[in-house]
């Protein structure tokens, strides 16, 4: 199953590669087998990048699930200056180009804030990428968890962030909330008394692994 954000790219890539194959056969291009192998490998990478595996999420209203696949690279107390304007626990998950890049809602509830910010393309693990890079910020509220903020952040390779969250929309935990094309990261901001269930450098799966529990 492939994400809808990749349908046009997959079809166009397939068409271009097929045309190149036909041209090489017609003109009997030397070393065409190696070129064909490279093109097939390239197409497989595209398919892998846009894959969208089914994930079943049913972890209860107090649990915050990972919005993306990747590795936990930050767990620290910070001052969140855009929306809360107070101290929160920041938990960040870094996605490499080979990870699934679908973003999923970490909790169910009502979208109370959704904003896009243009910006730079620093490497995703750079300390200033959370506030300087192109990004989107979304806040979801429900009665059990209160307000949970997550932020899609573009990296050095990510040149397009797709965000489906619309203010006042009722959403369900684990459903698609967007897509980030190529390597990037997602920050989640939690209450200071949240119980963190993951460790630094731990690999997590979106909509499957519980990052934290709101006490």
Among 129, 130, 177, 184, the active-site one is 184
Angstrom distance (rounded) from CA 98 to CA 84: 33
CA-to-CA separations, 95 to 7, 23, 156, in angstroms, rounded: 21, 37, 12
CB 191 within 8 A of CB 144: no
In the chain the beta strands, taken as DSSP E runs, fall at: 63-65, 70-80, 86-95, 102-104, 109-117, 135-142, 146-154, 160-163, 170-171, 176-181, 184-190, 195-196, 203-204, 210-213
Distance CA 140, CA 200 (A): 25
Query: Is residue 69 classed as helix, strand or coil in its secondary structure?
Result: coil
- C-alpha dist (Å) from residue 6 to 39, 44, 174: 18, 13, 20
Tokens of 13: 């890539």
177 is catalytic: no
Q: Which residues are catalytic, by number? A: 184
């Amino acid at each position: 199953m492939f994400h809808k954000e990749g349908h046009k790219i997959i079809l166009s890539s397939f068409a271009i590669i097929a045309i190149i194959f036909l041209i090489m056969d017609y003109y009997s291009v030397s070393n065409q087998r190696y070129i064909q192998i490279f093109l097939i490998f390239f197409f497989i990478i595209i398919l892998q990048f846009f894959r969208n595996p089914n994930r079943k999420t049913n972890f209860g209203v107090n649990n915050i699930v990972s919005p993306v696949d990747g590795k936990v690279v930050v767990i620290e107390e910070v001052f969140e200056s855009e929306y809360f304007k107070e101290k929160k626990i920041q938990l960040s998950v870094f996605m490499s180009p080979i990870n699934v890049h679908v973003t999923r809602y970490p909790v169910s509830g009502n979208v109370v804030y959704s904003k896009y910010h243009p910006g730079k393309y620093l490497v995703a693990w750079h300390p200033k990428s959370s506030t300087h890079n192109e990004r989107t910020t979304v806040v979801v509220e429900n009665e059990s968890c209160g307000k949970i903020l997550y932020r899609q952040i573009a990296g050095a390779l990510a040149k397009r962030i797709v965000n489906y969250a619309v203010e006042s929309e009722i959403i369900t935990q684990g459903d698609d909330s967007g897509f980030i094309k190529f390597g990037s990261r997602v920050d989640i901001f939690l209450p200071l008394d949240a119980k963190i269930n993951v460790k630094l450098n731990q690999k997590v799966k979106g909509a499957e692994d519980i990052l934290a529990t709101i006490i």
